[in-house]
Amino acid sequence: MKTLIVYAHPDPKSLNGTLKDLAVSTLEGAGHEVRVSDLHAMNWKAVVDAEDYGPDASSPLKVAADSGRAFEAGTLTADVRAEQEKLLWADTIIFQFPLWWYTMPAIMKGWVDRVFTHRFAYGVGEHSATRYGARFGEGTLAGRRALLSVTAGGPESHYAARGINGPMEDLLFPIHHGILYHPGIEVLPPFVLYRVDKMTGEDFADAAKAWEQRLLTLESTEPIAFRRQNFGDYEMPSLHLKEGLEPAGRTGFGLHVR
């Protein structure tokens, strides 16, 4: 495998830093190639602005149109082009981050906002009355697989099907489906550690063993069975799921899993 690890934590000595290091050593030890985007160490620019698109940027700025034009002209900034190249190089992408306010930290969202440009990650393929782009199962990054490795402060029960925070699978759906599956990446079930501020040495040993196990079985892990947009499951042009396809008793995000 060629694995890109996108990692966001301000402290390399943190649990997230340790899990990232363990991923590098485990994968390299098994003969895989690994590259790491350590967003804090890179001092990653998290904020989209007109400087991202050079002197040709529109006024008023149109983030979709301007990023797509700069992508096609090859004039995106060097930091963004380097990340796009890493994504094209990789067959596997791991995102390592703490869950802050039920989603990724700002620095990682800023990596998505700036790297997942128009014409690269969205706005790809024919858009017409009968087809709305090559996305959700197709796209520039098709053929790749991704895995979120997430640490959460709260206990697992709060993230269960009836838990007050909402189910973890639904909290991660906008990342899994909205960000990763959108440009064609298949998404593996996440690796989540709960209540990490209360973690003992023994808990950590168990977690490290479980993480190594996940890493060494990535190639045989089945992805989440999200429905593909352009293969008959959705009405056009509404992109509503066709009647009768919903899993029994599911509403909301759960509709979009076969």
147 is a site residue for a copy of itself (CB under 8 A):
no
| 64 vs 142, beta carbon nearer a copy of itself | 64
Q: How many C-beta neighbours within 10 Å does residue 157 have?
A: 12
110 is a site residue for a copy of itself (CB under 8 A):
yes
256 is a site residue for a copy of itself (CB under 8 A):
yes
Q: Which residues pair with 93 in a beta bridge?
A: 4, 146
- Could you tell me if 223 and 187 are in contact, meaning their C-beta atoms sit under 8 angstroms apart? yes
Task: Pick one of 116, 191, 194, 211: the residue that binds a copy of itself (CB under 8 A).
Answer: 116
129 is a site residue for a copy of itself (CB under 8 A):
no
Segment lying near a copy of itself (by CB under 8 A), choices 22-30, 70-78, 149-157, 209-217: 149-157
Q: How far is the CB of 136 from a copy of itself (least distance, A)?
A: 6
Helix (H) or strand (E) holding 192: strand 191-193
257 is a site residue for a copy of itself (CB under 8 A):
no
- Could you tell me if 174 and 168 are in contact, meaning their C-beta atoms sit under 8 angstroms apart? no
The tokens describing 7, both together, are 């990692």
| 79 vs 113, beta carbon nearer a copy of itself | 113
- Binding residues among 68-97 for a copy of itself as defined by CB under 8 A: none
- Could you tell me if 37 and 86 are in contact, meaning their C-beta atoms sit under 8 angstroms apart? yes
Q: Which residue has the tokens 């703490």?
A: 98
13 is a site residue for a copy of itself (CB under 8 A):
yes
- Site track for a copy of itself across 152-171, x = CB under 8 A: -x-x-xx-xxxxxxxx--xx
Q: How far are the Cα atoms of 47, 124, 174 from residue 4, in angstroms, in the given order?
A: 22, 23, 21
Helix (H) or strand (E) holding 174: none
How many residues of this chain interact with a copy of itself, rule: CB under 8 A?
71
Phi and psi of 47, rounded to 5°? -110, 125
Closest alpha carbon to 5 in 94, 89, 84, 90? 94
Q: How far is the CB of 217 from a copy of itself (least distance, A)?
A: 28
Segment lying near a copy of itself (by CB under 8 A), choices 24-32, 82-90, 206-214, 247-255: 247-255
Task: Pick one of 1, 42, 61, 208: the residue that binds a copy of itself (CB under 8 A).
Answer: 61
| 27 vs 115, beta carbon nearer a copy of itself | 115
| 34 vs 57, beta carbon nearer a copy of itself | 57
- Could you tell me if 206 and 242 are in contact, meaning their C-beta atoms sit under 8 angstroms apart? no
